Each structure stands twice: as C-alpha cells, then as structure tokens.
Structure 1
Amino acid sequence: MALDSDANLNSLGFAKPPAETRVVVAMSGGVDSSVVAAKLADEGYDVVGVTLQLYDHGAALAKKGACCAGIDIHDARHVAEEKGFPHYVLDYENIFQDAVIDEFADSYLAGATPVPCIRCNERVKFKDLLETAKDLDADCMATGHYIQRKTGPNGPELHSAEDANRDQSYFLFSTTPEQLDYLRFPLGHLPNKDATRAMASEYGLAVADKPDSQDICFVPDGDYASVIEKLRPGSAEPGEIVDHEGNVRGTHNGVIHYTIGQRRGLGIGGLSTPLYVVRLDVDAKQVIVGPKEMLTTRVIPVREINWLGDEPFESRAEWHVAVKVRSTRPPHDAIIRPTGSDTAEIELLTPETGVSPGQACVFYDTESSRIFGGGWIWRGY
C-alpha cells in the first residue's frame, strides 16, 4: 500500500497498527541500520533484522573499516537481542562473488572504473534480499540509506537526502519503481549524521560511536590493484606509458594500477607540462597520458538507464536535468538525448574532467530534490 496523506496510515504508510506491520530491516551492523531497526521496534512494528554475510566469516573478522564484516554481523545480532526482535544472517557469499566481485575485476581489467557498491544495491540488497523480505511476508523493507522516498501524484518518488553531505542517491539510482514501492528509508529526512548518533544513544545502542565504514567492503585498505591480482592472476602485466602523440614516456607494471585523471605516481617527472592519464588501452597494455585539457568531456554515452520520470523516457527528444558523474561531485546542468529505451547521449553544459567508463551518471531534477534515475558511462570520450 503506497504512502499518502491519510491520517489513518502508520509511519510506514500502511492502514493498520504497527504491531500488525512486518518490516524487514537490512542490518549491516553499522549505526545507521541499527538506528532504523531500533526506531521501528520502539514504535511497535513487527521487526525482522537480516544481515548478509558477503564473504568468509573468519576472514572478514580481520577486515577493519568494511561493512558486512564479521564484527558487523556480531553488532547487528547484539542490537536485535537488545531490542527483542528476531535476526537472521544469510549466506550471500556466492551471490556476492558472482554479481559484484567478478564484474568489478573484469571491468577494472577492461580499463573501466567500476562502482561495486551500486551493483551490490542493485543485484543483492534490492533484488535477492528484497525477495527474501517478501518471502518472510514483510509489508516492506527498510534500510539505513540516506535518501528519501516521497509520494508524488504518480506514486513513490526517489529524492535526495536532507543532508547533502550524507546523500547516497548516486549509489541508489538503479532502484526501480517496483522496488521503491516496497522500500522505506527512515533516515533520509534527518539534518545530519549527528542526529543519527544521538538517536543511537537515545536507544542505548552500543554502536552509537562506531566509525562509519570506509572503502569498498572487499577492498578495505583501498588497494584495488592487489585485489585484482588475487582475483585474476597474471593481470598486472607491464607495458608502456605513451603520450597522446605516441611517444614512449616510460613503463608501468600493470594497467590496473592506473585510473583516468591520475597525475601522481606516473614516474615521468621533469616535464614542463604536467601529464595525466587520459586513456587506458588494455589490449595494447598502454597507459596513455596527455595534458589536463584532454580530460575535459562534454558528451557522454550512457547505457543501462533506469528511468524514474513520470513520462516514458523516449517520449521526449530532450530532457533538461542536472547530472552527477562522480559520487563526490555536485550535479551540473545537462541535456539527456535518448538514443534507445535505455541508452542516451548526455551533453554537459559545463564540461567535466576525468569522466571515466564504469562510473554512473545520475539524473536530478533542476528544481527539486527528485532523482530521475541514471545509467552507466560506457565510453568516456
């Protein structure tokens, strides 16, 4: 049942008492999802906590700064025990390997800069876990993501979080309308993370002061290259560093050690003009470098588009929106020109630097906090 303005609906949008409303809470073991679970339990909802084990439990215990690690499973279970609701740990190791880790490795080897957190939300948390929630006869599934679900004239809409510094819309653009109808995000309206921690203290949660997770969960130290080498032995083959005119400027010990826009660590100092990585040629084992202006991009091809607008995507020749091409960058004005049901050409009104294949391009309304979906950049320039 969709959320609306009916005063008889409970806080999750259902016309029945909280005690008769079952909600599965996706619990990562961090403060955000723990607060969501505690809040809903405190309000009297029939809460069921679910935590995903995404990699070997014993190995995960040693991983600091990663979500869904061994200590996080323990913390999630402890919150459930404190608040008196059932908690389950589901073994998703094989699913996570197939749906997220393998593609991450293959995309990186192809010269792209993948965003595995988006694929995890899309293919694991909001797909398999959501179906599990339905199997448990839950009315909805709640998460600790900082994003908002609002009701518009045509149904649920996805909106940026109230706190722009915590907004996770870039990582949730692929949420479909059907998924959005079932999902709830109780923290999206909060002014800042301090408010979340204050709630955690109010509920007496031991995780109130727990640090936020850092890096990709299976790359906790940020060393992408070493993980790729373990996943794909022999992938770090040496080659040449070549400038945009074809001149050999040096050598490298593997394309996987470089990313588009990189300047430091190239080992080709002493130049009058700084050079940046502008392209990766995996087949030729070449890192191509050039001046900064070569990183500037105005037109971006995007595919696998998830459209969340009210009108069909191809009903217009152009959509005037704002887009974000990196999670750390603000949205900038752009024009979307559909080239198919899920493909488009994006014209950036202000050119961006360092646009890379494998990153997401997320669409935002220029006049509100609404998100119109997004797609994947498949060829930088």
Structure 2
Amino acid sequence: MLNSLGFARPPHECRIAVAMSGGVDSSVVAALLKSQGYDVVGITLRLYDQGQVSRKGSCCAGVDIADAQATAASLDIPHYVLDFEERFRRAVIDDFVDTYAAGRTPIPCVRCNERVKFGDLLDIARDMGVDALATGHYARWCLGPDGPELHKAHDLNRDQSYFLFATTPAQLAQLRFPLGEMTKPEVRSQALRFGLRVADKQDSQDICFIPDRDHAGFIARMRPDAAKSGDIVHVDGQRLGRHQGVLRYTVGQRRGLGVAAGERLYVIELDAAKARVTVGPRDAGEASAMIVRQPNWLAVPRAGQTLNVRHRYNEGDVPGTLARLEEGAFEIRFTRPQAGIAPGQACVLYDETRLLGGGWIERSVRVQADEPAALFTDQTAASG
C-alpha cells in the first residue's frame, strides 16, 4: 500500500524536504507532513534583498525568512536557509529584464520554478538524501498507468499548474504538491489548527522582487536603454502619439496606452528594435494559430489531437489542435480566433485536467483553415 505521497513504505521512513517561502501555503505543507509522521526538513531560499524586509506581499526575503524559521521551530523540524541571490538574479531577474526590453512578455514565476526551485534546489535536496521535495503549489501529483502525472488543482481558482509546465518527468518524479486537493480557506483553517503564526499572512504579489509593482520603472533602472521613446501607430499606418518605452506595453493590453481615438484600442504588436508600438481594434490582433518553441513534455500529444490550450495565465482554456510537432517547436491551431497572444508568454497544453506540457510563444499567425501548418515559414501575416 502506498502512503499519502506515493511511497510504498511508512511515512517515518520517508525524508521529505519542504520548500518553505515563509507563506501560509508552504508552512501548512510542512505542518501536514510532520503531523502525518514524515521525516521533514525545511529549506528556505534567500532570493533577493532590496531592503524591503517588512514589505507585504513579498516572499523569500527578510521577514519571510524569519517566518519560515519560526514555523520550522514551532514544528520542531530542521531548517536551512540557502543563499540563492546570485542564481536568482542570473536565472530570473536578468531574464525578466531582457525579455521585456526585447518587446516580449516574460513569466518570472515559471523561470523561478524551472531554473531555481526545481533545478538547483532539487539538486541540493537530492544531495541531502531526501525522497521528495514538497512545495505549496496548488497542483495535483498522482500516479498514472505510465508513472507520475501533473494535474490541475481541485480548486481551479487557485490552480498553479500553468506555472509548472516546464517541469521535466525526472523532476516530477521527485516533487509533491500536498495542497492540490485543498482550497485556500481550508489551508488557512489548517494553519490555525496547527497554531502557525502565518495563518493570516497575505499571499505574495505576482512578481515578488518588484517592491512597488512598477514593472516599467524596475526595468528602466536595470536597463535604461529599454526606456527609449518611440511612436505609437495604428495598424492602418496613422501615427497616434509617442511612448516612453516598449517595456511599458504588452500585446493585448487595452488600458494605459496613452493615446485617444474614436475606437477602443489594443496593443497589437511591439517592435523593440524600432521602438514602435502598434495598436488597433481587438479583431486586428486575432490569430488563428501560434508558433511555440522550446517545448517541454510530460506526455507528448499526438499531431491532430484537440487539446485544452492556455496562452495566458489569467485567461481560460480554449480548444486548439496540435497542427504540427517538430523538434524544438510546435504549432497550435485554434478552433476560433484568439486575441492577445503575447510573444514570451507560455502556451500550456492540457488533456482535460492533465498537464501535457507546453512551451514559449514565438508569434501568432493568421492562416486559412485549409492551409498547411506554417511552422517555419513567414508567409502568413504575423499579428503578435
């Protein structure tokens, strides 16, 4: 019989590392596993230090580390703080800045999971002799007929599987997500039951290393050249105004464009080299397909298979077909045209609730229904 984490031995014979960020989710994971009899060790990463030790909405810095230490002490488990500042800067912050400066829209949470937490941290956890690394992500790990599978969380409003698409099969075998069947209120209730001091602590913000959520200001300080001004032009060629850097825009954006017109406008395309922002009506940005590169697969879909496709975290799944699959890239055809497909964002593919994999959006394209897949051609008009 398997225990709650899928091992064929009693919990006390399983050593589990818990990635403790100092928030309520990871703290409850540590408490739950300890209460179930597992040999638990807590690990906290110091990822950055911007003098914001008491800032609300942060994680992995200052007060968050202190909260993780206090939680570990209250649970009587070993706890280690690892300095990952330099790794985090290179792998996540620099990538974030460079991607925005190139006119694309990055997802630092995916890069952090891919390169730091499930890369370097998991390697260290293995060296410590642990059987698995558990995190506070809202996603479900389960054993399927062919091995471990990753599924959406039971609470779809909290589901974080989108940010885990870059997880490799080898990593998934050593990861566990104990909160996958729980809701946030249930997690907070458990925190109160265990007497954790973080029971009422607010969730971390979207991008933890930007204190004031001023993405553009942060990037401009890191890369002043990325704030170069340029033209805002309509898709019909009309010049509408000036902007203070493409880093202030993302494809699909509607608010804060800085221009007035007799129609509702959206960002259609960003050209960082020419410092140009192209805007237009929503349908000007609609595309029937997209090209995705650097794929990662937990289960490779079949060419022609209809899938649930998510091309932005805050958008719902839409139906799409895997039109063509080649080494290093694939093409998705949508059942109906989609707007706001932003280069640099992640395309994540699901079969019902099971995460199959995904990749990074290269561009959107417009194709006719009877056209062949346009994977490596530029014959179709790019709209993103």
TM-score range, shorter chain: over 0.9
CA distance in 2 between partners of 1:38 and 1:268 (Å): 52
Q: Given the alignment, which residue of 346, 349, 353 partners 1:369? A: 353
- Of 39, 44, 51, 1:51 maps to 44
Q: What is the aligned counterpart of 1:15 among 8, 22, 39?
A: 8
Task: Tell me which residue corresponds to 1:290.
Answer: 280
Give the conservation status (yes or no) of the 8 Å contact 1:305–1:343. Answer: yes
Q: SS state of the match for residue 255, structure 2?
A: coil
Q: 1:149-298 counterparts in 2 under 5 A?
A: 149-190=141-182, 192-269=183-260, 271-298=261-288
- Partner AA of 1:222 in structure 2: R
CA–CA separation in structure 2 for the residues paired with 1:264 and 1:178 = 42
Is residue 27–residue 50 contact of structure 1 (8 Å, CA) maintained in 2? yes
For residues 44-73 of structure 1, the C-alpha deviation after alignment (integer angstroms, 9 at most, x for no partner) is 2111100010012x6241432122121110
* 1:281-327 deviation line (CA, Å, top 9, x unaligned): 11111111112211212100001111122xx55xx432211101111
Q: 1:78 and 1:363 mapped to 2: Cα distance?
A: 39
Q: CA deviation at 1:210?
A: 0.7
What residue identity is the alignment partner of 2:23? G
Aligned length: 365
Q: Alignment partner of 1:379: what SS?
A: strand
Equivalent in the alignment of 1:3: none
Are 1:301 and 2:295 an aligned pair? Answer: no
Q: Which of 3, 15, 25 does residue 18 from structure 2 map onto?
A: 25
Task: Output the amino acid matched with 1:49.
Answer: G
Q: 1:346 aligns with which of 327, 332, 340?
A: 332
Matched, 1:97 2:102: no
Q: For 2:224, what is the secondary structure of its paired residue?
A: coil
Return the alpha-carbon distance in structure 2 between the equivalents of residues 286 and 236 of structure 1. Answer: 12
The one-letter amino acid paired with 1:112 is R
Tell me what 1:126 maps to: 118
Cα distance in 1 for partners of 2:254, 2:315 equals 19
Task: Give the counterpart letter for 2:263 in structure 1.
Answer: T
Asked whether the equivalents of residues 306 and 342 of structure 1 are also in contact (C-alpha less than 8 Å), the reply is no
Aligned to 1:65: 57
User: What amino acid is aligned across from residue 279 of structure 1 in structure 2?
Assistant: E
What is the rounded CA distance, in whole Å, between the counterparts of 1:307 and 1:149 in structure 2?
A: 16
Give the secondary structure class of the aligned counterpart of 2:363: coil
Q: Secondary structure at the match of 1:174?
A: coil
Distance in 1 between residues matched to 2:178 and 2:184, nearest whole Å: 13
Q: Is the 8 A contact 2:52 2:211 kept in 1?
A: no
Aligned equivalents of 1:265 and 1:140: distance in 2? 45
In structure 1, what residue type is equivalent to 2:88?
Answer: F
CA distance in 1 between counterparts of 2:172 and 2:254 reads 40
Deviation per residue, 1:152-190 (Å, 9 max, x gap): 110011110000000001101111111111111111011
Cα shift readout 1:210-232 (whole Å, capped 9, x = no counterpart):
11111201123221111101111
**Secondary structure of 2:172's partner?**
helix
State whether residues 260 and 279 of structure 1, in contact with CA within 8 Å, keep that contact through their aligned partners in structure 2.
yes
Q: Secondary structure of the residue that 1:265 maps to in structure 2? A: coil
SS in 2 for 1:156: strand
Matched residue SS, 2:225: coil
- Percent identity between the aligned chains? 53
